[in-house]
Amino acid sequence: MTPDDMDLLAALARNRAGLRIESDKAYLVESRLNPLARREGFESIEAMVAALRAKRDDRLIWAVVEALTLNETAFFRDREVFAHLRDELLPALSRRHDRPIRIWSAACSTGQEVYSLAMTASEARDIEPGAQFEFFGSDLSERCLEKAQSGLYTQFEVQRGLPIRSLVKHFENQDEMWAISPRIRQAVRWRRINLMADLSPMGKFDAILLRNVLPGLDPAVRPRVVESLAARLEDDGVLLLGAGESLGELTGAVRPLADRLGLFSRDPSFRAAA
Domain extents in the chain: 3-68, 79-266
Closest CA to 186 of 122, 129, 240: 122
Pairing of strands 152-153, 177-180: antiparallel
Q: Is 54 helix (H, G, I), strand (E, B) or coil?
A: helix
Is there a contact between 248 and 44 (Cβ–Cβ < 8 Å)? no
Instruction: Give the number of C-alpha atoms closer than 13 A to the C-alpha of residue 203, restricted to the C-beta side.
Output: 11
pLDDT at position 247: 76
Q: Is 208 helix (H, G, I), strand (E, B) or coil?
A: strand
pLDDT at position 46: 95
Enumerate the β-bridge partners of residue 208: 104, 239
Q: Which CATH number fits domain 79-266: 3.40.1710.10, 3.60.15.10, 3.40.50.970, 3.40.50.150?
A: 3.40.50.150
pLDDT at position 242: 86
Enumerate the β-bridge partners of residue 238: 207, 265
pLDDT at position 258: 67
pTM of the model: 0.92
In angstroms, how far is the first alpha carbon of the chain from the final one? 43
Q: In the β-sheet with 177-180, what is the strand arrangement from edge to edge? A: 152-153, 177-180, 171-174
CA distance 20 to 45: 19
- The DSSP annotation for 80-133 comes to HHHHHIIIIIHHHHHT--SS-EEEEETT-TTTHHHHHHHHHHHH-TTPPTT--E
How does pLDDT run along the chain (274 residues), one tens digit per residue?
A: 899 999 999 999 999 999 999 888 889 999 999 999 999 999 999 999 999 999 889 999 999 999 999 888 999 999 888 999 999 999 999 987 688 999 999 999 999 999 999 999 998 888 998 899 999 999 999 999 999 999 999 999 999 999 999 999 999 999 899 999 999 999 999 999 999 999 999 999 999 999 999 999 999 999 999 999 999 999 889 999 987 777 766 677 888 886 666 888 887 777 665 4
DSSP H or E segment with residue 63: helix 58-68
pLDDT at position 274: 43
Is there a contact between 217 and 20 (Cβ–Cβ < 8 Å)? yes
Is there a contact between 60 and 52 (Cβ–Cβ < 8 Å)? yes
Cα Rg for the chain, rounded, in angstroms? 20
Q: What is the dihedral of CA 45, 49, 50, 56, to 10 degrees?
A: 150
Say if domain 3-68 classifies as CATH 1.10.260: no
User: CB atoms < 10 A from the CB of 220, how many?
Assistant: 10
